[in-house]
Amino acid sequence: MQAKKSVKKPVAVKAKSKPAKLFYYRIFFDDNEKKNYMKSGLTHKQIEKYLKAYEKTHQKFLNSEFVTFLKKYDRKTELIEISDISY
């Protein structure tokens, strides 16, 4: 009589995922001279690459349109508008 080989099934180990890094960028190249900030998970090199692609297809540069363009590549990209407060 042969002994049956027992095969242990691997136990699924819950891997702790690291929270995604978000980078904050100052956008200063708007044609309307608006200064804005944005947050994104894309690196600086990726932003530069997508900026060049955006400039090829758009004649006028607007921060809000660029952030909308970047959302194709990173859904977490968000525009942070800065406004003056006076009292």
pTM of the model: 0.65
14-66 pLDDT, tens per residue?
Answer: 556 666 788 888 876 676 777 788 999 999 999 999 989 998 988 888 888 88
Residue 26 contacts residue 37 (beta carbons within 8 Å): yes
Within 1-87, strands assigned E span 23-27, 36-40, 78-81
Q: What does the alpha-carbon distance between residue 52 and residue 66 come to, in Å, rounded to a whole number?
A: 11
CA distance 84 to 76: 26
pLDDT of residue 9: 59
Q: What tokens appear for 68 in the block?
A: 């909308």
For residue 24, the SS3 value is strand
